[in-house]
């Protein structure tokens, strides 16, 4: 809070210089991409055990010891699509709405959800508050991110925009989370793959299972969606400042 107050009292140029490193700490997609590439490399080497270990270590809390190859790739796609909201566009939107405190509030809530945000099982009562607050904080950003994924799919030939929109409309409500299904469904439709967690959800079910070859297009799709998602509000803000 003190740093945020200091930023607002500095001249614009110096305030921006101080804000950039402070805001950068609220974003964390780079590490997820690195983890996804490590998992892809392990699968290409045929080392499925290492891929399972990396998936459980970096990306998901579920038991990964028996995951098949397509399930591992699915975990990567699901986790990265969801974290495009949680780790990039949601902090950005909260920053634009409430400055640095907003961005760090968003990341703090997300961290609490990751640590104790249980929606079911023995720890449900203790973790439900964190989980519900996380749902609320990311409610608008998740829908914004899903739209960005569909736009990114439509702007580049590697993915199909109409298929992404169709999957988004029809599949977005099939997950327990009110937010995760939006980005996961859009990504599944864009890449033409099926994403599923046994006993929980099955998105884009009529399509093929994912393979390691889908990881590079996935990374490209997410980078393009992140670019669109960052540039659109900045251009909007620039237009507002220009008119004022």
Task: Return the domain boundaries, the chain.
Answer: 29-243
pLDDT of residue 12 exceeding 90, the answer is: no
Residue reference for tokens 């599944």: 188
pLDDT of residue 128 exceeding 50, the answer is: yes
Distance CA 137, CA 52 (A): 31
- Position 236 scores a pLDDT of 79
What average pLDDT is seen over the chain? 84
pLDDT of residue 238 exceeding 50, the answer is: yes
Mean of pLDDT values over 203-210: 96
Banded model confidence at residue 144, pLDDT cuts 50, 70, 90: very high
- Position 101 scores a pLDDT of 82
The answer to whether residues 152 and 232 touch, using CB atoms and an 8 Å cutoff, is no
- Position 189 scores a pLDDT of 97
SS3 state of residue 67: coil
pLDDT of residue 50 exceeding 60, the answer is: yes
Mean of pLDDT values over 135-145: 96
Question: Which of the residue ranges 28-32, 115-119, 160-164 has the most confident prediction, judged by mean pLDDT?
Answer: 160-164
pLDDT of residue 11 exceeding 80, the answer is: no
Banded model confidence at residue 158, pLDDT cuts 50, 70, 90: low
pLDDT of residue 9 exceeding 80, the answer is: no
Banded model confidence at residue 116, pLDDT cuts 50, 70, 90: low
- Position 17 scores a pLDDT of 38
Banded model confidence at residue 41, pLDDT cuts 50, 70, 90: very high
Region label for 229, one of left (φ > 0), alpha (ψ between -120 and 50) or beta (otherwise): alpha
- Position 120 scores a pLDDT of 52
pLDDT of residue 118 exceeding 60, the answer is: no
Question: How is 142-207 classified by DSSP, letter by letter?
Answer: HHHHHHHHHHHHHHSTTS-HHHHHHHHHHHTTSSSSTTHHHHHHHHHHHHTB-EEETTTEEESTTS
Banded model confidence at residue 129, pLDDT cuts 50, 70, 90: confident
């Amino acid at each position: 809070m003190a740093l945020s107050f200091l930023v607002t009292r500095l001249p614009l140029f110096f305030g921006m210089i101080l804000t950039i490193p402070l805001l950068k700490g609220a974003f964390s997609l780079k590490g997820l991409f690195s983890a996804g590439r490590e998992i892809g490399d392990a699968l290409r080497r045929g080392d499925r055990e290492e891929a399972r270990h990396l998936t459980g270590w970096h990306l998901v809390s579920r038991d990964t010891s028996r995951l098949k190859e397509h399930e591992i790739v699915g975990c990567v796609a699901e986790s990265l699509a969801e974290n495009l909201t949680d780790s990039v566009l949601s902090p950005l939107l909260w920053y634009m709405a409430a400055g640095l405190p907003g961005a760090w509030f968003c990341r703090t809530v997300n961290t609490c959800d990751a640590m104790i945000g249980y929606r079911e099982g023995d720890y449900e009562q203790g973790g439900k508050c964190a989980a519900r607050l996380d749902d609320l904080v990311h409610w608008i950003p998740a829908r914004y991110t899903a739209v960005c994924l569909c736009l990114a799919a439509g702007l580049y030939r590697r993915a199909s925009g109409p298929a992404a929109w169709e999957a988004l409309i029809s599949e977005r409500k099939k997950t327990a989370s009110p937010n995760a299904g939006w980005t996961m469904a859009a990504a599944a439709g864009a890449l033409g793959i099926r994403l599923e967690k046994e006993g929980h959800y099955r998105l884009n079910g009529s399509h093929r299972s994912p393979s390691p070859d889908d990881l590079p297009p996935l990374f490209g799709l997410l980078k393009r969606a992140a670019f669109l998602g960052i540039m659109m509000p900045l251009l909007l803000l620039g237009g507002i400042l220009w008119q004022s």
